[in-house]
A and B are shown apart, each in its own frame.
Chain A
């Protein structure tokens, strides 16, 4: 009988780890969560958008007591070059009523609250402790080693939710070192403004309503990435994430890029007069479906960013993390029933993920990274054309409208050619299936 200290060890108290811990604790499992930061959330930067649905499933009506900033009623998308931006989006009262759709959050506050609920459910949480490696016996993961004296712990199963760099998954050979094209570096500033300033500038009634703006386009000069602006209660989070490979190739310092974005004429008025309260940087998984490592082995499962479960097209990560944490926990419960923690048993984790929106969404976009790599101009030339076209159409200069449209058609033809355009549309449609 192998000795064990706990039934399950969860590494990392982010959304994935906490979700797993919650499901396990509620099921009466003896679970410990090990967090490297001073407290859950202290190491997380995703000060961004949190989706209600997977969380509500876990803790019903959580939004009534959790520390959230604003519930999002409008989501805008901008295609931006250096002087202009073309925008589209949707604002709906359907997202302005309970139970709401998504919220802006500060992870340092939210995770701390979430962790409290998980501890109340019966899980043990320890902070300021780094898990340095898995303990493997006879090819099976039987525990983890930490950086503290007398720091070895044994369990039936280890769930690694240790973030984008997951040393655990790496050391077990489940995934390779992250390569620069599979990950983006995100830098973010939190800029303080008054509630009124934010309400006025973003066109919302009061400080409970929020807006998000996602921005991409030629302003990135061919780099693959996205900028974003989210409204919090009394501040605005503004950030940009760019694939590390592009940052390197363009020799662009992400901080400089953020400064340029802040100074952009479309954006500067939104943050005018605000003071920077916080500055953070982090890595974001970007590789999509094709970069997902093997997510399980004997006695071991990987969840959240550690498993590269981020849908960058839709800016979703925390919901995939929570869902994967839940599914890892449920897989353990099935394994416990059978008294079998082998790789074969834990492969059910992958199955569950395939059946859920997590892998279905990622599969949907699996070819996108490759597509963008091949056809980088999709990020620059097409958006540029759209911007130029809109400027042209909305400029009243005496040119008759039929002529304007003719000019645009000619532009389209000369810039891209109808054949290429058709080919691209076909390729995109095919790759997205």
Chain B
């Protein structure tokens, strides 16, 4: 196995994911977590990204504590395409040798991270839900779910650098801690003939990008909701409780909700104070995304639905009977009638 010289690697790098001029919230969450790790390691937090116009992000990046912001700007990097992005990032990492690289486990992040790690011949741990520093060895300890969340594994990467990890949005909180930072612009010579893949068209889905992790109450609907129209009840209840609504994968596949509202293994991981699961059976893939919610209220007409195994409170009933009544009653009780 190829090993890198560990002593030459220092500082924690956080990838700033962005689209259409906006930074993905997960980047801020990771910067926050990185600051915590950096304290243990006695090193700095730096940010990095590539694109055609990314210097503009520096203020936000510094707001979350990154002392340096490494960037490569080039028109070829305008839209996200795996290969040129990878090559530019690999160049920066090889040049500056960070000891840890954190990337958000978004669709883009998961597409990108594996190919970077392979080029760097280093270890990558995907979808981590906890990051710690081993007090003795100072190695990064990366904990992640396997078997749909039934078994947790703590991984470490002792002989290779950088130690790479992707983390799901919503696992960490984003907290500001402004610093004075500097931008370091790198330049990479792209061999354009290598990049043969091209995007023909992009269809952005209707509706805003929603960060479910932001809300302390989530009212989620599954296949048991029956139709897209019925989802309005979820919104109503959510509004009443000052939260937001979400959907299971089955509901998204049925076209009743956009993917941005999906909770689960292949959607967002959330842990609100209250999670109300309506017409959701509780399949492992969904539960993996919400089981650390503090209070889970489940409504399902099947008394044997697996969701009741993890619900704090369970109600057996038809969601379409229960929800309207629940909304009405809560309206009165909360003085919002």
Direct contact of A and B (CB under 8 A): no
